[in-house]
């Protein structure tokens, strides 16, 4: 048996190496003749690796110093941040601080520009420094990722952030003025004209107080179209608008593309309008929300909505133009269609012709056709819901259904005409065939188990007009027994699947060190053109221009004006200038640090003990912070990056006289 296994391993290795490296012209000595390193079999045997393990290892191993083919941008869930992972190696490349302060990036610990940006996301004067990120959306041009920006939502507070992929840093946070939680966000229109956001848990607009008994009358949902100004790289609230929605708990959305460009689709899961209140003898939410067999797919004609706003038929509500429900109905902006049952994902196919809605509490995916939707609208083939919104006839708009298994959630696509859907309850990925015009040709092809309780999936460019196939990542919940125990708060488990061949194969398990990831998008790595250093010394990365506080070497100074003290400091390997900053207790201090270096690897950090200050100055960056010297004493500040052999000497004293 052992011998048989060894022969299998040898054959497999020889085949794989011939396939992978056969065309290389200069083989290393170890791979000459058989093409097999001499110790490979011994290693495989000693480590107890199966042929499948070896094939997985060869598919995911990226040699030291080599780069990954794809970058996956995944939500960090309730860490409130964004994580960048290389594929196929599954190496974590970067945590990008978004809604939650991160000390190592100097994010949210004194940096004035960053504090100001974070404060723009405060809610009614309450400082918000956490978040729950769910859905990153890479910017698109003609329905394909262009590698310039990524947007991500905070579900808890209904906020959207803009991250610039020139430096992978957050540039803007916007708070929706009418809703308190979102979920159907972020999704971009095919040319990133708009970043779409939809509410989740309905509240009165502006989250004003209203008794829960007035739910149907006063609580509402909202689909917001944030206008993205590509020139400025910022969301423009003035040009943004929203469509008021019934309080059905809108969930996941997608923007139409190609033939469905101009439309947005969003499922929902509380058409019952249940209001909970188990303590008052009402059905609990979990039961109340899932009584009916169908909920509503929301279908929004956003190009029409744009015209309606231009025509002045919207209302300013809390500073944003809102199309109220009666107007949305009268102007053919908003339609509904039944969907089984408490569904989750809504995912437009690469050709834009179909929308896949996954049943969650129904074992099917339901495929809707944009042509059939348009025809049902033209035929007025509808009934009305309690808000007077037209509900399109299910049989008229449904194109196909495929039974996949228990708990279908999210769908991605490949380059060979297949769709992949996560099955939460089955802990599996289902691969099924898109049948085009023929409803009978939509069939389940294969199911593969994953560990465990899969949420989203992310295939290479898998929600664009031109998916790449190749890889798919299952973003799973609690890893339970998959890794060495690290205490009762469990890691999440990302699993890489090879979807190139006939059968899917799980080829890597990667524990996430942070909160539950939801969605992720995977882009071809060479589409991203990140900078090595800022364009000019003294750069302000948020304003994206030279800072007025940029300080050149030799111009360092401490300026006093009454009890206002301003410090102009430079950082260079290996000193901070000045090295002594002398102030008095009670002073108000504004302090600027310019990293005057431009070399690729010349980042300096800056931390000041006792005053909660942490900065990171990438090459060329100027950062500013301010504080009140409430305590006297002797404090040390120093550079936090081991930037040279004399890095420990890169420090200074803040002397605060009593």
Binding site for ligand K7E (CB under 6 A): 134-135, 183, 252, 344, 409-410, 455-456, 518-519
518 binds, among ligand CUA, ligand K7E, none (CB under 5 to 8 A by kind): ligand K7E
Q: Which string of DSSP letters, residue by residue, matches 614-628?
A: EEEE-TTBEEEEEEE
Shortest Å, Cβ 183 to ligand K7E: 6
Shortest Å, Cβ 103 to ligand CUA: 16
Shortest Å, Cβ 606 to ligand CUA: 9
Shortest Å, Cβ 97 to ligand CUA: 20
455 binds, among ligand CUA, ligand K7E, none (CB under 5 to 8 A by kind): ligand K7E
Lookup: tokens for 13: 């290795």
641 binds, among ligand K7E, ligand CUA, none (CB under 5 to 8 A by kind): ligand CUA
Task: With contacts defined by CB under 6 A, name the span among 19-27, 51-59, 515-523, 635-643 that binds ligand CUA.
Answer: 635-643
Shortest Å, Cβ 569 to ligand CUA: 12
Instruction: For ligand K7E, give the closer residue by CB, 220 or 518.
Output: 518
Q: Tell which one of 118, 643, 654, 656 touches ligand CUA (CB under 6 A).
A: 643
d(CA 74, CA 520): 4
Instruction: For ligand CUA, give the closer residue by CB, 85 or 593.
Output: 593
647 binds, among ligand K7E, ligand CUA, none (CB under 5 to 8 A by kind): ligand CUA
| Residue number with the smallest Cβ distance to ligand K7E | 455
| Burial tier of 317 (Cβ tally within 10 Å: 0-12, 13-18, 19+) | middle
Instruction: For ligand CUA, give the closer residue by CB, 311 or 645.
Output: 645
Instruction: For ligand CUA, give the closer residue by CB, 328 or 639.
Output: 639
d(CA 512, CA 633): 41
Site string for ligand CUA, 524-563 (x = CB under 6 A): ----------------------------------------
Q: Tell which one of 308, 402, 650, 654 touches ligand CUA (CB under 6 A).
A: 650
Contact 334, 325 (CB under 8 A): yes
How many other C-beta atoms can be found within 10 angstroms of the C-beta atom of residue 46? Answer: 9
Shortest Å, Cβ 477 to ligand K7E: 8
How many other C-beta atoms can be found within 10 angstroms of the C-beta atom of residue 543? Answer: 11
Task: With contacts defined by CB under 6 A, name the span among 74-82, 83-91, 212-220, 640-648 that binds ligand CUA.
Answer: 640-648
The residues facing 567 across adjacent strands are: 558, 591
Contact 143, 170 (CB under 8 A): no
Shortest Å, Cβ 245 to ligand K7E: 18
Instruction: For ligand K7E, give the closer residue by CB, 69 or 295.
Output: 295
575 near ligand CUA, rule: CB under 6 A: no
Shortest Å, Cβ 203 to ligand CUA: 48
- Site size toward ligand CUA, by CB under 6 A: 8
Residue 393, C-beta contacts closer than 8 angstroms, at least 6 positions apart = 376, 381, 382, 383
Lookup: tokens for 241: 């608008």
Instruction: For ligand K7E, give the closer residue by CB, 185 or 189.
Output: 185
Shortest Å, Cβ 540 to ligand CUA: 20
d(CA 202, CA 276): 13
Candidates 555, 595, 599; CA nearest to 575 is 595
d(CA 353, CA 369): 6
Instruction: For ligand K7E, give the closer residue by CB, 204 or 407.
Output: 407
Q: Which residues of 400-424 are buried (b: 16+ CB within 10 A; e: fewer)?
A: bbbebbebbbbbbbbbeebbbbbbb
Shortest Å, Cβ 198 to ligand K7E: 12
Instruction: For ligand K7E, give the closer residue by CB, 135 or 470.
Output: 135
Backbone conformation region of residue 110, classed left if phi is above 0, alpha if psi is from -120 to 50, else beta: left
Shortest Å, Cβ 345 to ligand K7E: 7
Contact 252, 184 (CB under 8 A): yes
Candidates 56, 53, 58, 60; CA nearest to 36 is 58
643 binds, among ligand CUA, ligand K7E, none (CB under 5 to 8 A by kind): ligand CUA
546 binds, among ligand CUA, ligand K7E, none (CB under 5 to 8 A by kind): none
Instruction: For ligand K7E, give the closer residue by CB, 171 or 518.
Output: 518
Tell the residue number behind the tokens 């952030």, with chain if given. 161
Quick one: three-class SS letters along 18-42? Answer: HHHHCCCCCCCHHHCCCCCCCCHHH
Sheet holding 390-392, edge to edge: 250-255, 263-268, 294-301, 334-340, 390-392, 382-384
Shortest Å, Cβ 432 to ligand K7E: 19
Contact 183, 202 (CB under 8 A): no
Shortest Å, Cβ 339 to ligand K7E: 15
95 near ligand CUA, rule: CB under 6 A: no
252 binds, among ligand CUA, ligand K7E, none (CB under 5 to 8 A by kind): ligand K7E
Candidates 518, 462, 476; CA nearest to 252 is 518
Instruction: For ligand K7E, give the closer residue by CB, 457 or 542.
Output: 457
| Rg of the chain in Å (alpha carbons) | 27
The two beta strands, 320-323 and 234-245, are: parallel
Residue 126, C-beta contacts closer than 8 angstroms, at least 6 positions apart = none
Site string for ligand CUA, 589-608 (x = CB under 6 A): ---------------x----
Helix (H, G, I), strand (E, B) or coil at 55: helix
Helix (H, G, I), strand (E, B) or coil at 9: helix
Shortest Å, Cβ 96 to ligand K7E: 19
d(CA 605, CA 627): 18
Shortest Å, Cβ 408 to ligand CUA: 51
Q: Tell which one of 258, 304, 647, 655 touches ligand CUA (CB under 6 A).
A: 647
Q: Which residues of 504-538 are buried (b: 16+ CB within 10 A; e: fewer)?
A: bbbbbbbebebbbbbbbbbbebebbeebebbeebb
639 binds, among ligand K7E, ligand CUA, none (CB under 5 to 8 A by kind): ligand CUA
519 binds, among ligand CUA, ligand K7E, none (CB under 5 to 8 A by kind): ligand K7E
Do you find a cis peptide bond into 186, omega within 30 degrees of 0? yes
Instruction: For ligand CUA, give the closer residue by CB, 458 or 624.
Output: 624
Instruction: For ligand CUA, give the closer residue by CB, 179 or 639.
Output: 639
171 binds, among ligand CUA, ligand K7E, none (CB under 5 to 8 A by kind): none
**Residues at the contact surface with ligand CUA, assessed by CB under 6 A:** 573, 604, 639, 641-643, 647, 650
């Amino acid at each position: 048996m052992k011998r048989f296994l060894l022969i299998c391993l040898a054959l497999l290795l020889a085949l794989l190496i011939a396939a992978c490296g056969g065309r290389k012209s200069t083989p290393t000595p170890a791979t000459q003749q058989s093409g097999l390193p001499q110790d490979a079999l011994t290693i495989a045997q000693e480590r107890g690796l199966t042929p499948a393990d070896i094939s997985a290892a060869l598919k995911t191993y990226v040699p030291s110093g080599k780069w990954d083919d794809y970058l996956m941008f995944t939500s960090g869930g309730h860490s409130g941040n964004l994580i960048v992972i290389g594929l196929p190696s599954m190496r974590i490349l970067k945590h990008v601080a978004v809604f939650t302060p991160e000390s190592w990036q100097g994010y949210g610990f004194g940096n004035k520009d960053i504090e100001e940006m974070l404060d723009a996301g405060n809610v009614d004067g309450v400082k918000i420094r956490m978040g729950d990120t769910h859905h990153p959306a890479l910017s698109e041009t003609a329905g394909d990722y262009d590698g310039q920006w990524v947007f991500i939502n905070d579900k808890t507070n209904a906020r959207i952030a803009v991250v610039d992929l020139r430096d992978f840093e957050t540039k803007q946070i916007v708070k929706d003025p009418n809703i308190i939680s979102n979920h159907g966000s972020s999704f971009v229109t095919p040319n990133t004209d708009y970043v779409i956001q939809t509410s989740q848990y309905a509240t009165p607009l502006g989250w004003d107080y209203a008794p829960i008994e007035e739910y149907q009358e006063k609580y509402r949902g909202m689909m917001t179209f944030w206008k993205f100004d590509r020139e400025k790289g910022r969301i423009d609230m003035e040009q943004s608008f929203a469509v008021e929605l019934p309080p059905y708990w809108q969930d996941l959305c997608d923007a139409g593309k190609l033939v469905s460009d101009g439309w947005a689709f969003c499922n929902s899961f509380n058409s019952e309008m249940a209001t909970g209140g188990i303590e008052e003898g009402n059905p609990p939410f979990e039961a109340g929300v899932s009584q009916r067999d169908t909920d509503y797919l929301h279908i929004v004609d956003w190009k029409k909505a744009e015209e309606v706003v231009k025509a002045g038929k919207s209302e300013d509500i809390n500073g944003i133009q809102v199309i109220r429900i009666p107007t949305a109905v009268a102007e053919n902006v908003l339609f509904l269609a039944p969907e089984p049952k408490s569904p989750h994902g809504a995912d437009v196919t690469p050709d834009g012709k179909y929308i896949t809605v996954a049943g969650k509490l129904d074992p099917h995916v339901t495929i809707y056709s944009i042509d059939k939707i348009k025809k049902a609208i033209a035929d007025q083939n509808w009934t009305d819901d309690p808000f007077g919104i037209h509900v399109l006839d299910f049989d008229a708009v449904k194109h196909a259904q495929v039974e996949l298994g228990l708990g279908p959630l999210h769908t991605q696509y490949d380059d060979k005409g297949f769709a992949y859907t996560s099955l939460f309850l089955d802990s599996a990925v289902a691969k099924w065939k898109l049948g085009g015009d023929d409803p009978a040709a939509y069939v389940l092809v294969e199911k593969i188990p994953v560990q465990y309780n899969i949420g989203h999936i992310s295939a290479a460019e898998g929600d664009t007009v031109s998916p790449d196939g190749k890889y798919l990542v299952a973003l799973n919940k609690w890893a339970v027994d998959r890794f060495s125990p690290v205490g009762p708060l469990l890691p999440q488990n990302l699993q890489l699947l090879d979807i190139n061949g006939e059968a899917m194969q799980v080829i890597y398990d990667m524990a996430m060190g942070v909160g539950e990831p939801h969605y992720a998008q995977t882009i071809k790595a060479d589409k991203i053109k990140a900078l090595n250093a800022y364009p000019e010394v003294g750069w302000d990365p948020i304003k994206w221009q030279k800072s007025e506080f940029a300080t050149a070497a030799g111009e360092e100074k401490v300026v006093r004006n009454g009890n206002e003290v301003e410090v102009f400091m430079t950082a260079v390997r290996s000193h901070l200038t000045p090295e002594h900053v002398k102030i008095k207790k009670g002073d108000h201090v504004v302090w600027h640090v310019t990293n005057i270096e431009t070399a690729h690897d010349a980042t300096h950090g800056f931390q000041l003990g006792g005053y909660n200050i942490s900065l990171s100055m990438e090459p060329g960056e100027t950062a500013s912070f301010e504080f009140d010297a409430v305590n006297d004493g002797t404090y040390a500040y120093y550079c936090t990056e081991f930037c040279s052999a004399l890095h420990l000497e890169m420090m200074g004293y803040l002397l605060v006289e009593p």
